[in-house]
A and B are shown apart, each in its own frame.
Chain A
Amino acid sequence: MSVIADDATQSMSRRELMTLVGKVAGTAAMYQMMSSLALAANSTFDKRFSLSGAPKGASVLILGAGLAGMVAAYELQKAGYKVQILEYNNRTGGRNWSLYGGDTYTELGGITQHVQFDKGLYLNPGPWRLPYNHQGILHYCQMLGVKLESFNQANYAAYIHSQNAFGGKPQRYRTVKADFEGAVAELLSKSLQQSQLDQAVTKEDREILLQALRNWGALDQNYRYVKGRASSSRRGFDHWPGGGLDGEPTYSEPVALSDILKSGLWGEIAANDGIPEQPTLFQPVGGMGVIGRKFGELLKNVIRLNSKVVEIKQDETGVTATYVDTVKGGPPQTARGDWCVCTIPASILSQIPMNVSPAMQQAIYAIPYGASCKVGLQMKRRFWEEDEDIYGGITYTDQMNAIIAYPNTDYFSKGKGVLLGAYTFGPNASIFTSMTPQERINAAVQMGANIHPQYRTEFETGVAVAWHRVPWTLGCQGTWSEDARATHYKNICQIDGRIVLAGEHVSMIPAWQEGAVTSSIDAITRLHQRITKG
């Protein structure tokens, strides 16, 4: 059997392999093998997930057509339930959203932005990247036929920038990383050689560690991080190696450890090391919003758009949602289901009367929503590629805009491109939110020009989304404190009579779509169990 497995994995998908194992060795062996593969999984999501056997005529009312709502509708419908979704917006996807030229967006306070990007260019105001271990959302991308391309998170040629370091001149990520690690490796080697670490490191390990430090830190023969081939091949050259007579390289001078430390630039060295930032990451071709749009097309017969839920009431036999048509107006209408999956963000749900237990109500009250602001800037040409060899990825700055991210698509194309000119959270985002959209754009342009002077001539048009001003979320994400988690998390997950909540805020992966997907699957699995087994 192991022979089959080894050969087969080369050329077969996992599903094909399972079927084969099933045929050859029987179902028991197949399940055994499945669970051993599952142990290696990097996600709680199980691709075999599927519900079946809904009682005849049973119905579920779903509130919100974001990813959590649409996953619930799709899977429950497959299981045989009658489903319907009420959605406030005039489109599906919720926070899964892209803004294209021709779109308009009106934020709270009434200011409308008319997006003027060229055809094919867009901003993802919310989610923009999909980590490789977010197997739930990746599964639905495949199910919907959403084409994925690489999202370039770590770009060693992009910059780290501080207004107060190196005269405000941005430094390439690769030089900061190389110089910091080189200097630390040299320090450690010195300590080792001077026997200062004898208590912590055995004699035997000491020799290995010295080798490892030389390797890790690009040290020379004498365990020093100095100007030379080793350091330059990490941090970059003054004159780069090439062919022929011009090919002789000139090495560059590393920056002293003390200068790196004082610069604060070390703060971003680990920016790509958290699991969600580790390669490989993906993005949908054409914008993140493609997922929500395609999901909506698939479910269009069961979604009612422009429907603002204003009250949720359960009784012995079902759940009634009262809603207002935001376009046609008129008196409030009602929709009813035997059961209800509510994915309305807690920020808004905290304002909607709903008869659930005090424990669940308190949980809904306990989740404030975080601030975040993104600004998209269309540039007349892709100067970051043409002038600076930056292809996708992220520049970090200690200015308030925090981030400049370069498009991870259409590399080398002539013509325009849209930069993410600001991506903020915390206090900076609150300050950005307090500005008008035009002020946010101007601020991002002005800050960006300190890193890329080309902004001054190449900037054309922008759009700014501050999440506390988004009418249908009142914020970016549920920001659970540890205390609130300990007190309320289990309560918000419970099935309360005939109502169960789902969404990013009902997950341990806040502010990621995977949280919305896995929370939805967990909620409907338990709901289905309750319905069928009592």
Chain B
Amino acid sequence: MKHPIRVATGVVCTVAAVAGIVTAANAQRRGGYNFASGKDIYEHVCQGCHMADAKGAQGAGAYPGLASNRKLQTPLYPVLIVLRGQKAMPSFSALSDEQVVEVVNYIRTNFGNSYPNAVTLDQVKGLRARAVQQQAQRPG
């Protein structure tokens, strides 16, 4: 685990910095994700578990790192994982085909990865039938 960063939770940071998040995010309330670029999708969805530096995290359980990850070499591997989920990772089939293309190509060309053969829209469309629907259940 990295060095803990101390957060002074009492301090309100500049409202302007948050305004962007809030406006973009408010649009999400009714389901689905409204982000277009691979970077935006990563930073608002995937980063929750794989972390901002894509190095993953470790506690009683772990999130694998996507940084310098040889498994991303196979273009359709991350596509299938996003559409179907795997073990503790829920499916993100609420992302559109275009969004899946964007985010997968983003992780395959950032964080120390630079794999050729960008994933195409047709490839994602071809795998869409295997997507697993994620049920958003309200906790108690």
Contacts and interface: CB of A to CB of B under 8 A. Distances in A.
B129 interface: no
A370 B137 contact: yes
A433 B62 CA distance: 16
Contacts of A476: 139
B7 A438 contact: yes
Interface in A162-219: 163
A426 B9 contact: no
B36 interface: no
Contact of A442 (B13, B33, B48, B94): B13
A348 B9 contact: no
Q: Is the interface of A mostly helix, strand, loop or mixed?
A: mixed
Contact of B60 (A371, A425, A460, A471): A471
Interface in B116-137: 132-137
B87 interface: yes
Given A110-B2, A368-B88, A368-B89, A426 B15 contact: no
A355 interface: no
B29 A399 contact: yes
B91 interface: yes
A349 to B, nearest CB: 8
Size bin of chain B's contact surface: 35 or more
Contacts of A466: 48
Interface in B1-19: 1-13, 15, 17-19
B30 to A, nearest CB: 7
A116, A430, A436, A463, most chain B CB atoms within 10 A:
A430
A347 B61 contact: yes
B6, B10, B29, B47, most chain A CB atoms within 10 A:
B29
Nearest to A106: B4
Size bin of chain A's contact surface: 35 or more
Q: Is the interface of B mostly helix, strand, loop or mixed?
A: loop
A110, A368, A463, most chain B CB atoms within 10 A:
A368
Interface in A305-355: 308, 344, 346-348, 350-351
A281 B49 CA distance: 33
Given A350-B87, A370-B139, A426 B19 contact: no
B22 A111 contact: no
Contacts of A426: 31, 136
Given A351-B88, A369-B90, A477-B137, A400 B57 contact: no
A481 to B, nearest CB: 6
A46 B57 CA distance: 42
Given A350-B87, A513-B140, A436 B7 contact: yes
Contacts of B4: 106, 110-112
B28 A441 contact: no
A400 B45 contact: no
B44 A431 contact: yes
B60 A468 contact: no
Contact of B45 (A431, A459, A479): A431
B32 interface: yes
B67 interface: no
Contact of B22 (A127, A344, A372, A447): A447
B12 A442 contact: yes
A400 B89 contact: no
A418 B2 CA distance: 31
B63 interface: yes
Contacts of B28: 400, 427-428, 431
Contacts of B90: 368-371, 479
B47 A434 contact: yes
A358 interface: no
Interface in A105-139: 106, 108-116, 126-127, 129
A364 to B, nearest CB: 8
A439 interface: yes
A67 interface: no
Contact of B9 (A113, A477, A512): A113
B60 A88 contact: yes
B76 interface: no
A460 B91 CA distance: 37
Contacts of A431: 25, 28, 33, 44-45, 48
A427 B137 CA distance: 11
Contacts of B44: 430-431, 434
Shortest Cβ-Cβ A-B pairs, 5 listed: A471-B59, A426-B136, A433-B48, A348-B61, A368-B90
19 contacts: A106-B1, A108-B58, A108-B59, A114-B6, A127-B140, A351-B62, A371-B48, A399-B29, A400-B26, A400-B28, A425-B137, A427-B28, A427-B136, A431-B44, A438-B7, A439-B21, A446-B22, A472-B61, A477-B139
Given A398-B30, A433-B48, 17 more contacts: A108-B63, A110-B57, A111-B5, A112-B6, A348-B60, A372-B139, A425-B139, A427-B32, A433-B49, A434-B48, A443-B18, A446-B15, A466-B48, A469-B49, A474-B59, A477-B139, A510-B137
Interface of B: 1-13, 15, 17-19, 21-22, 25-26, 28-33, 43-49, 51-52, 57-63, 85, 87-91, 94, 132-140
